[in-house]
Structure 1
Amino acid sequence: MEEMLLHKKVGIPRAISYYNNYPFYYGFFTALGIEVVLSDKTTTKIINEGSSYVVSDTCLPIKVFTGHVVNLLNKGCDVIFVPSLQSTGFKINNCSKIRGLPEIIRNVINKPFTMIEPTLDKTENIGFHDFCMQIAEAFGITDSKIVKAAAKAGWKIYDDFLEMTQSGVPYKEALENALNGKVLKKSVDIVKPLSVVIMAHGYNLFDERISMNIIKKLEKMDVKVYTSLDVPPQKALSSIKQIGEIQYWANELELTGTAAYYLLNNKVDGIVALSAFGCGPDSLMVDEMSYHCKEKGMPLIHLTIDEHTGEAGFVTRLEAFVDMLMRKKRRQFVKKSENIKSADVVKLREAKILTGSVK
């Protein structure tokens, strides 16, 4: 502990909970006087290095996380933040690999380093304040008032980040500005012919290497893209209930809740499901949404990714889906135009009859 107190520095892998929670992590650690060191952005080298430490059937996000831990160690950072996020609500669980992330890292990386491994498990009454206290105590900080003040600072940055993303500010821009204490106003929306929502975990979607930069690819195809960050959590939860489902998985608001919100409000032309190959919870949630999409006639494509996914095939499937959406929209437009013309003809005939101009 004395050695750790001299560090006052912590490494955060740019993976898993980083993508949703980093604004809070940054504000919290900084308020405690602890310097934050980030791993590099995901590269093929990081993925391959992480893959070499774990068994082959491990899911891609865990391989990526492992690679980021190794990246931090190679940068000379030997105190690394690896939280165990068991459950975020009563019986609202994360998958077994995220729950056991500290144990996985401890057993696969045989190098000397210290893990900061706080547990959040609301099913077992280990709440968020307990989670924060565990982190602070690892650095010798035991004053609850100091920890609460640091958490407040973390929430301020997180709330600013969320305010921007929910107003339409892109993820990277919102993150950068929130960390610098700025809040941008929503820019004017450019109307695009098509719109889709991507149902995916933040760690799959906002990692540009893992997602093949799918958001930019869709935008280049003239498609407006929505994500889970555009939907307030309460609306996502309400949408899950409206389609007759319940929230079981901690990340379900990102997937089922987001897709259900846009499905129920008929706000998009299609849904893109993006998940890691072999992810059990994701496959269940995507199947669940596929059923509801078929009922409402909403097109859905499921794209799976792993370390071997080729960009060419990925883009081909995406382009084919967008082309299909465009053809469908054109047909709907033509049909609507024909219906309007038919209605006008009927009205014209009725007018002629009423005026006596028809003999």
Structure 2
Amino acid sequence: MGLYKRKGSDVYHIGFRTPGGGRVRQTSGTTDKKEAQELHDKLKHEAWRVARLGERPKRIFEEAADRYLSEQVDKKDYDDKVAHIRYFLGHFAGRELTSITRPEIMESIPIKAVRKGRKRPLTPTTRNRYLATIRSLLLDAVHEWEWMEKAPKLKDFEQPPKRIRWITRDEAKRLLREFKEDCMRDIAAFGFSTGLRQRNILRLEWSQVDLRARRAWIHSDQAKAKRPIGVPLNDDAIALLRRQIGRHKTYVFVHNGEPLEKWDDWKWKAVCKRAEIANFRFHDIRHTWASWHVQGGTPLQVLKELGGWASYSMVLRYAHLAPDHLARHASAVLLHEPAQLVAVK
């Protein structure tokens, strides 16, 4: 077939059969016949080497980007991946995958980003998300698509440990009193009672609730760890759910008869300001719920199941909040015997 033009187009297209009987059809991307012929001959030669010598065809970054995004379209963070890939195309477009080195990738990771018209530094966490995307693409090219022998090893940027932000019960009560909308207040209160993530509460359906058995459940495709979560409901949670009965046939929490598509961050910040509670995100409600549990004596392994965390290390962040279980071991390093301590006094 060689070179040809499609009806109504001046761009040359390439078509030929490979030695193995396969067929290659693609655009040359050019209206110049000489350039198109050169690309045709190059592709045909590579196809011959692949078939006869077992060599891998050379792939450029754009090919990998297109395939990767097409296979990630159902992922929750797809929009972030698109933004990351678009960024990396500015650095590696036209490059063969095998020619892209680890130092080049590490140097390409952005340090600052434009936010609200100003350039602001990116946190190590955000920079690691860029790394995660290109690492995932390259590993797919190795293990899934077999386009490469190996991928560069990309080590995450070191992330400083974050302090767990939680508030007291009195502060939580003060916060809830400042809400002007019942729906938002009830959603926040339900978070304090169950520790569920925001999206799980916003999209909670009546089919996921059993008031008589005092439980709810999150399906595996709704859970961050991809495992179903059983949610025991305490008295506060039951009371909140009963108040929602009759407001919507499908969804539990609604505003003006419709489920909330998105949490109103502006109103949330205003509520926190009125309650004089600083630096408190909605996700910190989950941290608060976990902190209250630990302080109340809930074992960490039980907390792991209640919160639906994938690993035990995730709940260890809260262990320092209730060191009471370690108190009996403190006497193992006494300088004096207990009777001698009385004498010393």
TM-score (norm 1): 0.25
Higher helix proportion, which one? 1
| Structure with the greater alpha carbon radius of gyration | 2
Which protein has greater RCO, CA pairs closer than 8 Å, 6+ apart?
1
TM-score (norm 2): 0.25
